[in-house]
Structure 1
Amino acid sequence: MSEQSTPALVDWDLAASTAARLAPAGPRLAPAEIAVAVEDIRAKAEASVDLVHRITGLEAARDLRDSQILVVDRAGWAKANTQGFSVMMDPALRALKERLAQGMSPAGARVSSAVAGAQMGSILAFLSSKVLGQYEPFSGYRTGGPGAGSAGRLLLVAPNIVEVERQLNVEPDDFRLWVCLHEQTHRVQFAAAPWLGDHMMAQIEQLSGSFVENAGSFLERATRAVVSLREGKSEEGASGSLMELLQSPEQKAIMSGLTGIMSLLEGHANVVMDAVDASVVPSVKTIRQRFSSRGKDRGVLEKFFRRLLGLDAKMRQYTDGARFVRAVVDEVGMEGFNQVWERAGNLPTEEEIHDPQAWLRRMGFPGAA
């Protein structure tokens, strides 16, 4: 059976439709209320760019017009992410397809593709109600590889923003601007470091290749992962997410580099988000307090899925990265910190995220302890 006649290993269209069908219902809004909320969130996103510029000093944030801003519903977010995942997973899926093409019938391949698509859709359905916004940097990669096409696109999930502001009982104007500050900071990061998307994509391709090369030991690692999750523990101090438990040593090393990058990006966005005071977001203290406390009421099932998917590890990236950024800025100012965006060699490692002084020493800042 030729590669051309073999269906894709994941039916991404089915994943998107499955997510749209299974996504939890959002807040009850009349059509007119939806239209008003969408326009207001878009306006807050536009207004936040100047604030990001003032806080970070990054010239890339001045009158930023490099990428799309999309205010979407849960189904729209899921569909956008099937497109993003199809790009990031493409190297691994192509390699696996070549391996499997000779031993799988067209009918078997179609069934496998549909099952994988349905499973991916189920995961995205769960996540679609948890995400307030997301900068998707790999949009242009669908049109010809690294550096091709548009920059990226900023997704703001309107029903989730409205739902959370209602749950927290906070002022919508303030909460929407606060959220947009975080998400627009991600957009500015990639504009300030135009090499960053290619750098991350190269790491992802390397990780994908490693998964394919180590496919033979996957079943053994998967068995250990299931046992570890069932017993509530993980190997070598890992946080216990499924992805961590399935990784080989080589994959963990690559993931460590990506974790350092993600911690930097999320932490920096949180620092910007929290840099505003009551003159910009009048109820910012109330928002911070209530938003930080919202995870305490999660049910057992949601906590399990969050652990399985590594979402709690992502939350730690926010905290660890913000601590790194604040420590560096306190030491050398925002201008000194902004050297992280100049080249890949300036990015902190995962170890340096937890030891800002090590990054300062490596970067040659005088007086670093």
Structure 2
Amino acid sequence: MSSASSMVDWDLAGRTARRLVNAGPQTTREEAAAVVAELHEAAATAVAHVEALTGLRPVPGGAVPEVVVVDRPGWADANARGMAALLDPLVEKLAERQETRPGVLSTAIGSRATGLQAGGLLAFLSSRVLGQYEIFGTGGRLLLVAPNIVATERKLGVDPSDFRLWVCLHEVTHQLQFTGVPWLAEYVEAQIAEFVAATDLSPDVLRERLQDVLRSVADAVRGGDGDGQAEGLMALVRDPRQRAVLDRVTAVMSLVEGHAEYVMDGVGPDVVPSVRTLRKRFAQRRKGRGPIDRVLRRLLGLEQKMKQYADGRHFVGGVVELAGMEGFNRVWQGPDNLPLLDELTAPHLWVERVLGRPALPA
């Protein structure tokens, strides 16, 4: 999985995550089989509802994404492979630009240290992620993490069937975003490649900084707040071009996440009878600075970055209100139509820029 020049030993990261993660809630074999079957059924059912609400359709003739119900180690393995497929070729290009290449021993030691830290973070996140649409390294695959879905529905005290369909609506929205908008994955990959190209750091220095970030994240997982001044991933960003790329990536991820949140609630009680209860209890679960908040805030380095993800929901709802779903779907026509950071909190600016008309209610 990992090349000789890898910044992170992703094989070790995957093994470390598998060793650290716990299995999840107790279920009988029959209960587990029933959960897997219902999640597959919910994912299939969700497609028609998301298509009807959003107007998105897969590109004709495109591959049909695989739906895979996984456990926590399975999610960690998948993400280790995906990150390796995305980042290792970019790091190799970065190393090729250096006049002198790092020694094999120092590279191995550094990548193993970072692999251990990344494995710890994967183990932590693998017990909290409900689902994920993979776009890197697999050609598109929908993962549903069964033990986390069961654990969450039990903790919230909600109807299991409603909750499982509700989660699938979110993940299937991501699936349709990337299967219906072919340039979207290429755009995200291009932004990451541009981010790497803009750095003047050697792979060794970049790895050292990444280790510092991961140590800070691990401290956040344990509940420590440090000095409150940690830059997180922003510590890796020095060049103004990289800051600009980070802004574009934040904007597009805010869009796709906000769009999925809009769909989860937009289908209404005819599809998910207890949708209002689900949203209320799920929103309550997100309040405060729990473990996942500490990790993401520390990892991103800025409170504002977390806020921008929430702003995505505001943006989608605002544009639909002003221009209707057909007007909103102009966002998928090309990179120039993606929202800018300031438009996330001011949807009327996007309507005026992209649609070329005053932002009047649809």
**Equivalent residue, structure 2, for 1:146:** none
Work out which of the residue numbers 279, 297, 300 in structure 2 matches 1:310. 300
CA contact (8 A) 1:265 1:321 kept: yes
**Counterpart amino acid of 1:305?**
V
Matched, 1:288 2:276: no
Task: Give the alignment's TM-score, normalised by structure 2.
Answer: 0.85
**Counterpart amino acid of 2:171?**
E
Q: Distance in 1 between matches of 2:308 and 2:19?
A: 31
CA spacing shift, 1:182–1:91, aligned 2, 3 Å = same
Q: Distance in 2 between matches of 1:257 and 1:77?
A: 27
Matched, 1:175 2:166: no
Q: Which moved more, 1:203-212 or 1:88-97?
A: 88-97
**Equivalent residue, structure 2, for 1:358:** 349
CA contact (8 A) 2:171 2:260 kept: yes
**Equivalent residue, structure 1, for 2:227:** 231
**Counterpart amino acid of 2:233?**
M
CA contact (8 A) 1:70 1:154 kept: yes
CA contact (8 A) 1:91 1:209 kept: no
Q: Secondary structure at the match of 1:179?
A: helix
1:202-238 alpha-carbon deviations (Å, 9 max, x no partner): 1001112223548798699899987xx733246xxxx
CA contact (8 A) 1:88 1:205 kept: no
Q: Distance in 1 between matches of 2:100 and 2:294?
A: 35
**Counterpart amino acid of 2:162?**
D
CA contact (8 A) 1:9 1:112 kept: yes
Work out which of the residue numbers 214, 224, 243 in structure 2 matches 1:252. 243
**Counterpart amino acid of 1:348?**
P
Q: Secondary structure at the match of 1:70?
A: strand
Q: Cα distance, 1:133 vs. partner?
A: 0.7
Q: Secondary structure at the match of 2:199?
A: helix
**Equivalent residue, structure 1, for 2:121:** 123
Q: Cα distance, 1:270 vs. partner?
A: 0.5
CA spacing shift, 1:332–1:72, aligned 2, 3 Å = same
CA spacing shift, 1:5–1:77, aligned 2, 3 Å = closer
Matched, 1:197 2:197: no
Q: Cα distance, 1:42 vs. partner?
A: 1.1
Q: Aligned residue pairs: how many? A: 346
Q: Cα distance, 1:62 vs. partner?
A: 9.6
Work out which of the residue numbers 119, 133, 147 in structure 2 matches 1:159. 147
**Counterpart amino acid of 2:65?**
S
Q: Secondary structure at the match of 1:325?
A: helix
**Equivalent residue, structure 2, for 1:145:** none
After TM superposition, the structure 1 = structure 2 runs for residues 21-32 of structure 1, keeping only pairs within 5 Å, are 21-32=19-30
Q: Cα distance, 1:52 vs. partner?
A: 0.1
After TM superposition, the structure 1 = structure 2 runs for residues 54-73 of structure 1, keeping only pairs within 5 Å, are 54-60=52-58, 66-73=64-71
Matched, 1:335 2:333: no
Q: Which moved more, 1:356-365 or 1:75-84?
A: 356-365
CA contact (8 A) 1:27 1:159 kept: yes
Unpaired segments ≥5 residues, structure 1? 141-149, 235-239
**Equivalent residue, structure 1, for 2:340:** 349
Work out which of the residue numbers 310, 323, 326 in structure 2 matches 1:319. 310
CA contact (8 A) 1:92 1:212 kept: no
Matched, 1:211 2:199: yes
CA contact (8 A) 2:95 2:202 kept: no
1:46-98 alpha-carbon deviations (Å, 9 max, x no partner): 10000001111223399996211111111111111111111221244214544
1:219-272 alpha-carbon deviations (Å, 9 max, x no partner): 99899987xx733246xxxxx5x1134322332211000011001000011001
CA spacing shift, 1:53–1:65, aligned 2, 3 Å = farther
Q: Which moved more, 1:315-324 or 1:249-258?
A: 315-324
**Equivalent residue, structure 2, for 1:237:** none
Q: Distance in 2 between matches of 1:108 and 1:214?
A: 13
Q: Secondary structure at the match of 1:29?
A: coil
CA spacing shift, 1:323–1:174, aligned 2, 3 Å = same
CA spacing shift, 1:36–1:314, aligned 2, 3 Å = farther
Matched, 1:134 2:124: no
**Counterpart amino acid of 2:145?**
V
Q: Distance in 2 between matches of 1:233 and 1:353?
A: 26
Unpaired segments ≥5 residues, structure 2? 217-224
Task: Give the alignment's TM-score, normalised by structure 1.
Answer: 0.84
**Counterpart amino acid of 2:316?**
V
